[in-house]
Each structure stands twice: as structure tokens, then as C-alpha cells.
Structure 1
Amino acid sequence: MITAGIDVGSVSTKVVFLQEDEIYYLVRPTGWSPREAGLNTYQELLQQTGIGDSEVAYRVGTGYGRISLGFIDKAVTEIHCHARGANYLVSGGGLVIDIGGQDSKAILMNDQGKVLDFAMNDKCAAGTGRFLQVMAAALGVDVSQLAELAKDRQPLEINSMCTVFAESEVISLLAKGADKQDIIAGIHRSVARRVWGMASRFGPAKQILFTGGVAKNQDVRNRLAIEAGAPVVAPELGQLAGALGAALHARDVAKKDFV
């Protein structure tokens, strides 16, 4: 049985095919049309794997663009899907911190990956991938360079978490001759503080899982662990947590229908 999970985020679209314990996936930029991004990425993965559309038993969409996907069988909230996918990657429950392109989420789940509570920042770019993109542009570097540039650096204080004001603050620090790498370290610390301020309301967790595109940034991960005062685990396929959770939900539904 093959099921599909399609996670259309604001920055990237992730598609996962699940066949038993085999995971096939593809990540592409979302661009201006969530509907086209979801369909095109799904069709491209079909071509890459040689799987026919008729072989896919069930398709679940998630993410902010899920309502625009006309080819899916069901839409499921990203909170549920991210928790389910994260728990599949690292079992045992705990606290999921997901930092995506335009929002950040903290999800408390039980040992089975069921959501117990959650908090979400989706009204402001602060503490998101978009915030890091704006800061990288102000510093004249690519966002993919941030982690290496900030490694083992002494973070400067970034007082504002508003994207517009923080950008002005960064430009001002550069004008005063501040070291660019120390500024980046300060930006990472401010993101970690902002996100942990949201997540800490759930109290101590048995483990902290870091997912989403920003989880690839080792320096943000390290500074999040400092703020949390506990180890932070970033699964290798953490960016796929939402799409993977959607594919798992699709498998549950498909099995019921099959029976």
C-alpha cells in the first residue's frame, strides 16, 4: 500500500510517499501558487519513483496551502501532522518545536504522538525562517551560510524581534563596525529566545524535537538547547515531518477503507 502526504508551506512544498517503512520524498519551492506547487511536486515525485497515480491509495494534504489542493482525498491540520511525523522519526513523545518559513509552532505530544497542547506564532515573522532570510539579506550573505558564520561566535544583543526594526538594528550595528559573524550569532540567539519563550509554557519535556527548515541551522539548534537547558534533537528528515505525518494519516484511513 502506498499513501501520500503533501505539505504545502509558505516557502517550500514537501511531498512524501509512504510504502510500508520506505519513505520517498521531494522538496520544492512553493512560489506564488500553492495549488500548482502541490500538484507539480506530487506529479514530479510520481515520475521520479515510477509510481502510478492509481497506485496511491490515499492522499492527505496539510500546511497553509492544503485547502487549495484539488487532487487530495482529505486535508488535515499541520499541528496534527507535524506531531505525528515527528513522533515517527523519533518515538517517545515530548515537545516538538517547528520553525518554518512564516510561522513557528510548539507542540506537546504524548508517547503515541497525539497532540496534548500547542502554541503557534503565525501573526508575525519574528522567530521564523522569513526573519532569518531578511536578516541574511541585510548582512549581504546567503541564508545557507548563517550557521557556519555564527559558529563559536560571541552573540551581540539584538533587542528588537520585529523584522523591520531588527533589520534597522542590524544595519546600525554594521555601520558602527560590529563584526558580522557576531551579529549573526546574536540573531540566532534572539530567534531561539523568542521560540523558547513560546514553548516554555509547557514546562519540562521528556525530549525536545526540532523540525522544520530552520532545524538545519546547527547554530540555531545549539542556542535553542541553551535557552531550553536541555538537549535538542533534530531528526535528519525533520523538514518532512508535516508531509510524513500526512502520509501516515493517509495510511490509517486507507487501511480502514481496505478492511
Structure 2
Amino acid sequence: MRYAGIDIGSRTIELVIVDDAGKIIGSLQAETGFDPMTRARKMIEELPYDYIMATGYGRNLFEIAFDTPTVTEIKAHAVGARFYFNEATTVLDIGGQDSKALSIHDNGKVKKFEMNDRCAAGTGKFMEIMARTLGFDIASFGGEALHFKKELKISSMCTVFAESEVTSLIAKGHSPQDIAMGLHKSVISRVAGMIKRVSGEGNIVFTGGVAHNQCMQKLLADKLDRQVLVPDDPQLVGALGAALLARDTA
């Protein structure tokens, strides 16, 4: 049997197919765009499956369009994180336009969670805008920040005001690398507070596109003095969790 999980986020859609053993046998990723259901339809037509479960912001639209079961992002990420790391106790997911932190019981169930979905501050979109303002592409943003020489503090986390503050710092002659590190530290301070409110100890599984950023990984580990674990494909964790739940409930 082939079990599918589709994570319809605000910026991207991920589709994962697993077999009876839970092994990933196929995956796709695409931009959500202005018509997510049309995009989702093309994706599921490309990869055949027997059962499917949806998660993410667009899961209810998918349920209506395709008459499929759904699962919350929180539960899907807990299951996906535990698949990669059996010892996972805490998950931090930073997506395109939201972030979430959750703690997991020994039995794999979610213990506590917190979400920031009302503001783009500290999300993937925020990081992309800041990288572009500094003349970096998002893939090199974290690496450039690690080459900083001077500590700078970014006081605003609102995307609009932060962009203005960054422009002002550039005009004052501060290096892009120093500003980049200041931005990274501001984001880490924000998400570290979320993590502390849901879990005070144990490892942290870092998921979402921002988890690729090595500077974020390092700062998070240093800030909380905890081990940070990053899956091979951190953006697929939610879809993987949904696929595994589709298998378990089929």
C-alpha cells in the first residue's frame, strides 16, 4: 500500500508517500500560489497513492475538495519528528508565515504547544525579505551571518519596521554580515521564548525551511544550551507525519 500525506502551507505544499514500513518512497514540493487546490490536484495526480491525509493551513479546503481526512499541523509535526528522532521531546517549526513550538510526551502525544500565526516576524518570509534587503540569497544568509565581526541589536521584529531599520544601519556603514547576525539573534530570542514556555529541557527537533539555516541552528543550541536535531528534509516533516497517520488509520 502507498500512504500519502499532504501539507498545504501558506507558501508551499509538500506531498510525501510512504509504504507499509513507513519508508518514504516519493515526495514533491511546490509553491502554494493563488490556487492551492489546483496545485495540490496536480501533485496528487503525479504520485499515486491508496490513502491520503491532509494537514496545514489548507487542510480543510483539501478535505472539502477531495473528501479526505485531516490532521492538525501540531500532531502531524509531532509524529513526523518522532519518525526521524525517537528521542524527540520538543519541536520547533518555522514555516513560511508562521512558527510553532511543541513538547511531546514519552508516548508520542503532544504535551503542550504554542503558535505564532498572527505576525510574520521571525518566519521564513521575514528571513527572505531581510536577506534580500542585505543583498544575500536565502541559501547563503545564515553563512554570511556567521562571518560577523561586530555585535548589533535589531530592535524591531515587525517586517516593515525591521526592513527600515536594516536600511538605516546599511546607510550608517555597518556591514551586511553584522546586520545579518543581529537579525538572526533577534529571531532566536523570539522563538526561544516560545520553546521555554512549552518545554524546559531535552533536545529540540528543528523543522521547516528555516531549519536549513546553519546560523539559526547554532544560535538556537547556544541560546538554550540544548541539542538541536535537524531532519534530512526538515520541510517534509508535517507531510510525513500526515502520511504516517494515514497509514495507521487506513
Asked whether the two chains share a fold, i.e. TM above 0.5, the reply is yes
In 2, Cα distance between the equivalents of 1:6 and 1:202?
26
* Structure 2 residue identity aligned to 1:83: A
TM-score, length basis structure 2: 0.94
In 1, Cα distance between the equivalents of 2:52 and 2:31?
20
In 1, Cα distance between the equivalents of 2:240 and 2:135?
34
Q: Which residue of 1 aligns with 2:52?
A: 59
Deviation at 1:177, TM superposition (A): 0.5
Q: Which residue of 2 aligns with 1:236?
A: 232
Structure 1 stretch 167-176 or stretch 155-164: which is displaced more?
155-164
* Aligned CA distance change for structure 1 residues 240 and 72 (closer, same or farther; 3 Å): farther
For the residue of structure 1 that corresponds to 2:113, the secondary structure is strand
In 1, Cα distance between the equivalents of 2:43 and 2:152?
40
* Structure 2 residue identity aligned to 1:68: L
In 1, Cα distance between the equivalents of 2:246 and 2:115?
24
1:130 aligns with 2:125: yes
Q: Which residue of 1 aligns with 2:61?
A: 68
Structure 1 contact 153–182 (Cα < 8 Å) conserved: yes
Structure 1 contact 60–72 (Cα < 8 Å) conserved: no
In 2, Cα distance between the equivalents of 1:113 and 1:203?
15
Q: Which residue of 2 aligns with 1:146?
A: 141
In 1, Cα distance between the equivalents of 2:67 and 2:3?
11
Structure 1, unaligned stretches of length 5 or more? 47-52, 255-259
* Structure 2 residue identity aligned to 1:40: K
* Aligned CA distance change for structure 1 residues 198 and 137 (closer, same or farther; 3 Å): same
* Aligned CA distance change for structure 1 residues 114 and 164 (closer, same or farther; 3 Å): same
In 1, Cα distance between the equivalents of 2:249 and 2:77?
17
Structure 1 contact 104–121 (Cα < 8 Å) conserved: yes
Structure 1 contact 84–113 (Cα < 8 Å) conserved: yes
TM-score, length basis structure 1: 0.90
For the residue of structure 2 that corresponds to 1:210, the secondary structure is strand
In 2, Cα distance between the equivalents of 1:64 and 1:72?
16
Q: Which residue of 1 aligns with 2:40?
A: 38
Q: Which residue of 1 aligns with 2:178?
A: 182
Matched-pair identity in %: 48
In 2, Cα distance between the equivalents of 1:29 and 1:176?
37
Superposition map of 1:1-259 within 5 A: 1-19=1-19, 20-23=21-24, 24-44=26-46, 46=47, 53=48, 56-69=49-62, 70-71=65-66, 73-154=68-149, 155-254=151-250
Deviation at 1:9, TM superposition (A): 0.9
The root-mean-square deviation of aligned C-alpha atoms, in Å, is 1.4
Structure 2, unaligned stretches of length 5 or more? none
Structure 2 contact 88–205 (Cα < 8 Å) conserved: no
Deviation at 1:113, TM superposition (A): 2.3
Deviation at 1:42, TM superposition (A): 2.1
